Structure 1
Amino acid sequence: MGRLVLLLICLVTGGAPVAAQSFTSLEAAARASGTPDIPGLNMVWLVPWGDRADANLWHSIIVHQTEGPAGSAYRGALRQARDPEGQGTTIWVETDGTVYWAVGEWATPKHVRHSGNRNDNKYIDNGDTFRLTPNNNSIGIEFAGNYPNVRKPVTDAQVEAWRILVRVLQIRYGIPTDRIFAHNWVDYKDRRYCEGCALATMARTQGAEIALQKTTE
């Protein structure tokens, strides 16, 4: 009887060992539907996740920073929920690290005005981004709190939330590390500061470290 059960499990899993099909708690949460508890993340769901197969085909992640004051992320997310494809982003991050998921995974908020019009290679090679990061394939994250000084860095709480959030997005949508961009990397933006650059660099470094760790295990 035990052999029969094992055989059935192997058939269901395509012959792979059961252990190979197990996920970490973060990976399991990233593949869930509804409003899962994501380890280490204070996520406020204004709209729940649906089936991953029904989500938009997100190819890239673009990091933004808004000049809103501390406490403005919730208001921005609520406004976005009322107008899913209006100006803004899918995800908003408050200065205390709270993450607001504002719209359905199918929606494409307007957060990249020119579909990636930067072509000067100032920050990255723009050969793969020039006019190729439109709203319909790039999921946007907005970090609040750099008012009135746009050069004010994000908070430690936002950094910690970002480290987890970016992994969740990569796992859920299969986005590689080299498709994580700062807004300033792909669009000509405010010259006073580099919008999203520190966060995007951090995520790419983290992704490279995770990849290296996996190859040495």
Structure 2
Amino acid sequence: MNLRGLAVAFAIAVSFPVFGQTPDLQTIAKQSGTPDIPGLKIVWLSPWGDVAKAHPWKNIIVHQTEGPAGSARGGAEAQHKNPTRRGVMVWVETDGTVYWAVADNLVPTHTDGADRNDNKYIDNSRTYHQVNKDTSIGVEFAGNYPDVTRPATQAQIDAWKVLVKVLRARYNIPLDHVYAHDWIDYKDARYCEGCALATLAREWGE
């Protein structure tokens, strides 16, 4: 390439410096309102408030509901109308759409037992009666009806890869505080609820 060609290439590179850069999720995660989050389609039933006034969340618990595909919106809307009912703050549809149902200063009822202390999946010495609804954000993945062993869809996995980073960044939650429902509470002998998704989150790392 001659000098003129090098000059043109340099000018193009300088003119478009942002292409290929990773979005700053750390900054986005601390915002209020209904921010656009690259890689996520979010339906904001409850916009974000001031993160400084959010409940002091310490953990994330992955749930999978025995609802059919398309049921996440209904579950999220019911949760929005009655935030403290049995359910979670965030719902994920089979197409990857995320429904933010509850303001993050309110505490829905989920995993209130936190009674697994058999070390079946993980060491429960830190979770027994500690990782519960009062300390944990619940994320519900819809669509495993009528077969509870059906895994999350690829669209849900793709959304989760971004969502878990946003949740951790917004509330300063350590990576090893991402749990599957069955890791900390008894549920159903037919399958390990949330285990594959929680494991993926830990494997993805920081």
Normalised by the size of structure 1, how large is the TM-score?
0.84
2:121 matches 1:128: no
2:52 matches 1:42: no
Residue 139 of structure 1 aligns to a residue whose secondary structure is strand
Tell me, yes or no, if the aligned pair for 2:79 and 2:88 is still in contact at 8 Å: yes
Distance 2:95 2:172 in 1: 28
Give percent identity, aligned residues only: 59
Aligned residues: 185
Tell me, yes or no, if the aligned pair for 1:95 and 1:144 is still in contact at 8 Å: yes
2:108 matches 1:109: yes
2:127 counterpart letter in structure 1:
T
Residue in 2 that maps onto 1:137: 135
Query: Which whole-Å deviations, capped at 9, do the CAs of 1:43-65 have from their partners, x for residues lacking one?
Result: 11001000110000000000000
Distance 1:146 1:92 in 2: 14
Distance 2:119 2:168 in 1: 25
Tell me, yes or no, if the aligned pair for 1:25 and 1:39 is still in contact at 8 Å: no
Residue 64 of structure 1 aligns to a residue whose secondary structure is strand
2:117 matches 1:119: yes
Residue 38 of structure 2 aligns to a residue whose secondary structure is coil
2:188 counterpart letter in structure 1:
D
| Structure 1: gaps of 5 or more residues | 1-22, 211-217
Residue in 2 that maps onto 1:157: 155
Which aligned pairs between 1:8-47 and structure 2 lie closer than 5 A? 24-47=23-46
User: What root-mean-square deviation, in Å, do the aligned CA atoms of Structure 1 and Structure 2 show?
Assistant: 1.0
| Structure 2: gaps of 5 or more residues | 1-21
Alpha-carbon deviation of 1:24? 4.2
Runs of 4+ more than 6 Å apart: none
Residue in 2 that maps onto 1:74: 73
Tell me, yes or no, if the aligned pair for 1:64 and 1:182 is still in contact at 8 Å: yes
Normalised by the size of structure 2, how large is the TM-score?
0.88
Query: Which whole-Å deviations, capped at 9, do the CAs of 1:19-72 have from their partners, x for residues lacking one?
Result: xxxx94322211110000001100110010001100000000000000000000
2:158 counterpart letter in structure 1:
E
Query: Which whole-Å deviations, capped at 9, do the CAs of 1:111-170 have from their partners, x for residues lacking one?
Result: 1130x1000001000000001012111000000000000000010000000000000000
